[in-house]
């Protein structure tokens, strides 16, 4: 099988890429920075320089894959950069999932976050819980938007995607 992985230069995405390669799968990774791809090359991963915020940079590396792992995200502790958070976490997710739909990719996994629950006030919650603000951070807010305003509606419309938190 051939898989496309976003966020492969990060901790979780890198582990996913490694496990896929070790299982005998072909991996295509998207990376923004050439300086961070050495480990991926050593694994035998095909690296394409691009950015999830640039929809067309996704087309070539996603064409012909059997599945998508969308792991890339913006995460900056203590910052309030709404623009970067929305561009990467919301629009970037929309770009990846829309391209997945356009190219008829048969399966995908979107890595959401427990941050979509934000501050539960100490309550134990499950996946039916919906936090509606205020959010503790821009990360929480934009991951909520990507999860509930982008990914979930696309799943409801038939996109073959699973959300993990």
What is the DSSP annotation of 138-155?
HHHHHHHHIIIIIIHHHH
Residue 65 burial by Cβ neighbours in a 10 Å radius (0-12, 13-18, 19+): buried
User: Tens place of pLDDT for every residue, the chain, 165 residues?
Assistant: 999 999 999 999 999 999 999 999 999 999 998 888 999 999 999 999 999 999 999 999 999 999 999 999 998 877 777 999 999 999 999 999 999 999 999 999 999 998 899 888 899 998 889 898 888 899 999 999 999 999 999 999 999 999 998
Name the CATH architecture for the domain at 2-164.
3-Layer(aba) Sandwich (3.40)
Query: Tokens for 104?
Result: 């008829």
């Amino acid at each position: 099988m051939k898989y496309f992985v976003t966020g492969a230069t990060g901790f979780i995405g890198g582990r996913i890429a490694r496990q896929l390669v070790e299982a005998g799968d072909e991996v295509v990774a998207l990376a923004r920075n050439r300086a961070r791809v050495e480990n991926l090359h050593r694994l035998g991963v095909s690296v394409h320089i691009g950015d999830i915020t640039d929809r067309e940079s996704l087309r070539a590396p996603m064409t012909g894959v059997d599945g998508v792992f969308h792991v890339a995200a913006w995460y900056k502790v203590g910052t309030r950069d709404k623009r970067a958070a929305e561009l990467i976490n919301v629009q970037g997710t929309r770009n990846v999932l829309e391209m997945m739909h356009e190219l008829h990719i048969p399966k995908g996994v979107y890595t959401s976050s427990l941050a979509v629950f934000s501050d539960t006030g100490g309550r134990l919650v499950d996946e039916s819980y919906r936090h509606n603000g205020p959010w503790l951070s821009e990360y929480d807010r934009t991951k909520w938007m990507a999860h509930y305003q982008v990914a979930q509606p696309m799943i409801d419309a038939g996109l073959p995607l699973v959300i993990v938190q």
